[in-house]
Every structure is written in structure tokens, then in C-alpha cells.
Amino acid sequence: MFRISIIAAIFGVVLTACSLPQMTYIEALAFCQNKADAAAGPQGAIGLSVGTGGTNAFFEISLSDSILRGDDPRDVYETCMNELSQNGQISGVAE
């Protein structure tokens, strides 16, 4: 009987650790908008800093898999919101 309770406790912890992250409606909107923006085109940043160690510069560019597949940004946004809703990841009331 003791083994069954230990196994049940471990199983409960594993299920809790594997649960999907919750977010508010506003966070879900921002998350899906970022995915749609990434699908619209390459994202990038350029930076230059000067400090006591000298100057530093960086260049960063990222491509999402949605760009490579040619997905429409509106479809990416709608799919994202639908998936979050269906998976129960959006908590709170829509504002």
C-alpha cells in the first residue's frame, strides 16, 4: 500500500510539472501578436556601445519558421489564440 501512495504522489508531481503555462488574456494577445509579427518578416537589432573597455557592436537577425513556410501573419495570430483558448492556457476575464 505504501508503494502505491508513493507512485501516486510521484505521478501527481509529474503531471503538475507538465501542465501548460497559464497567461492572462492581455499576455495571450501580446504573445500571439509577437508570433504574428515574426511571421510578417525577419526581426533584427543593431547595437553600438562605448565603455571603458572600448566599443562594442552587435547585429542580430532572426527568422521564424512561419516565414520559411510562407504563413499569413493573420492566420498565425488566429491559430495561436485558438490553440491557447482550446488548451485552457488563458486565465482571467477578457478586458
Euclidean distance between CA atoms 43 and 37, whole angstroms: 8
Q: Are 91 and 22 in contact (CB under 8 A)?
A: yes
Euclidean distance between CA atoms 27 and 83, whole angstroms: 14
Comparing 5 with 84, the larger pLDDT belongs to 84
Q: Are 77 and 33 in contact (CB under 8 A)?
A: yes
Q: In the predicted model, is pLDDT for residue 20 greater than 80? A: no
Q: How confident is the model at residue 72 (pLDDT cuts 50, 70, 90)?
A: very high
**Domain coordinates of the chain in residue numbers?**
22-91
Beta carbons within 10 angstroms of residue 26's beta carbon? 12
pLDDT one-digit tens code per residue, 28-68? 999 999 999 999 999 899 999 999 889 999 999 999 889 88
pLDDT of residue 11: 61
Centroid of chain to Cα 79: 13
Q: Are 89 and 21 in contact (CB under 8 A)?
A: yes
Comparing 8 with 65, the larger pLDDT belongs to 65
